[in-house]
Structure 1
Amino acid sequence: MRRVTSITLISLFLIFSGRINAQELKFGHANIQEIMRAMPEFKEMQETMEAEYDKLENQLATMQEEYQKMEQDYLQNAETLGALERQQKEQQLMETSRKIQTFYQSSQENLSQKQQQLRQPIMEKLRDAIDEIGEEGGFIYIFAENSGATVYQSDQSIDVTEQVKNKLGIN
């Protein structure tokens, strides 16, 4: 009899504690893109990236102009050049073309690395603010609203976008 009473009491405790915990679960969501666009660090990153892109684009344009001049010079004088000289000019054109392609590819890689490098501290700061909001508000989860991962959002989910912005000192 004692065993049955103990089992019953434990069962009731688990059932009621489960109901209490289920009622206390808090879920939130935040519009990460909106928050990032409002962060001054993100705006600085964009300006830095645009300046870097412009610089590389100008270098590439200069290289392409030089190549076009070399090509025009070759085409205008090809008939008057000897076979060896023509072959050297053609080889020089191919090497210049390869250099331009290599420069373009390395520029793309460098831009990507630079963006990742600049974005990492911004994401860490954002993540820290969301973590603080989560801990302060007693949230179980805070989902990224526009990440594509949320398939259902209840009215009970709390939008913490403004709280995160306030934590970051932006609005």
Structure 2
Amino acid sequence: MRLLTVVGAVAVLASVPSLASAQGQKFAFVNSQALLQNAPGRGEAEATFEKEMVGIRAQLTKLQDSLTAMNEAWAKEEPTLQAAAKEARLKVLREKEQNWGAQAQKLQSQAQDRQEELMAPIMENLRKVLDDMRMEGGYSFIFDVAAGSFIVSADKNLDITDRVMAKMRLSAPKAAPAARPAPAAKPATPGPTSAPAGITKKPPTE
């Protein structure tokens, strides 16, 4: 699942003009990657996501199989067609490919939206816990050592990752949203579309 910048609203590294001006301020750091990998509810969210993706993957496979069959049928009939019939047949094939491509894109968008929906309570809990820890500990900034910062060495006593994790467990959402059936893709209006993942073949041209 996509790793969001969870500390961005709590501590922005670029907002510290210099270490000299930070004297007297209190700092801490966390490893957001470790927090998210072990976040309460993540396993359930991923299991729900995988369960729901079975239907979507089946629909994507069906679209791919239909496109493959269409190309195979075209390869057999193309040599027997006259120019006018061939052009008409190609037009139909292109329209079908665009329609199926649009359906595939829609299914993939639904999958991404659902993934973000399932992770939203976990991300919100993490943001809230970080903000609470900052205020309770009197920290001016909480840095994220997993977010590509330039920190190469730090006092391990400033690492509050374990404390944040403990607090996350206490305030974790009760459960991931219940699984729901994957919606059937509706026929899309033919039109230009970029080639989506899983739909890779194209009907032959003249």
Give the structure-1-normalised TM-score. 0.70
For residues 70 and 135 of structure 2, the distance between their equivalents in structure 1, rounded to whole angstroms, comes to 64
Secondary structure of the corresponding residue to residue 40 of structure 1 = coil
- Aligned residue type for 2:112: S
Which residue number in structure 2 is paired with residue 47 of structure 1? 47
Which residue number in structure 1 is paired with residue 175 of structure 2? none
Q: CA deviation at 1:96?
A: 1.8
- CA displacement, residues 2-30 of structure 1 (integer Å, 9 cap, x when unaligned): xxxxxxxxxxxxxxxxxxx82xx321111
Secondary structure of the corresponding residue to residue 142 of structure 2 = strand
**Larger helix share, 1 or 2:** 1
Q: Is the 8 A contact 1:27 1:156 kept in 2?
A: no
Q: Is the 8 A contact 1:35 1:165 kept in 2?
A: yes
- CA RMSD in angstroms comes to 2.7
Which residue number in structure 2 is paired with residue 13 of structure 1? none
Which residue number in structure 1 is paired with residue 93 of structure 2? 93
- Aligned residue type for 1:102: A
- CA displacement, residues 93-122 of structure 1 (integer Å, 9 cap, x when unaligned): 212211222123223333332233233221
Which residue number in structure 1 is paired with residue 38 of structure 2? 38
Which residue number in structure 1 is paired with residue 140 of structure 2? 140
Note the 1:1-171 alignment, pairs <5 A: 22=24, 25-80=25-80, 86-151=86-151, 153-155=153-155, 158-169=158-169
Q: CA deviation at 1:91?
A: 2.5
Q: Is the 8 A contact 1:42 1:119 kept in 2?
A: yes
Q: CA deviation at 1:54?
A: 4.1
Q: How many residues are paired up?
A: 148
- Further displaced range: 154-163 or 77-86: 77-86
Q: CA deviation at 1:144?
A: 1.4
Q: Is the 8 A contact 1:28 1:159 kept in 2?
A: yes
For residues 167 and 125 of structure 2, the distance between their equivalents in structure 1, rounded to whole angstroms, comes to 10
Secondary structure of the corresponding residue to residue 146 of structure 1 = coil
User: Which 5+ residue runs of structure 1 have no aligned equivalent?
Assistant: 1-20
Secondary structure of the corresponding residue to residue 41 of structure 2 = helix
Q: Is the 8 A contact 1:26 1:157 kept in 2?
A: no
For residues 169 and 157 of structure 2, the distance between their equivalents in structure 1, rounded to whole angstroms, comes to 23
User: Which 5+ residue runs of structure 2 have no aligned equivalent?
Assistant: 1-22, 171-206
Give the structure-2-normalised TM-score. 0.60
Q: Is the 8 A contact 1:29 1:143 kept in 2?
A: yes
- Aligned residue type for 1:37: Q
- Further displaced range: 85-94 or 159-168: 85-94
- Further displaced range: 40-49 or 142-151: 40-49
Q: Is the 8 A contact 2:63 2:104 kept in 1?
A: no
- Greater Cα radius of gyration, structure 1 or 2: 1
The runs of at least 4 aligned residues of structure 1 exceeding 6 Å deviation read none
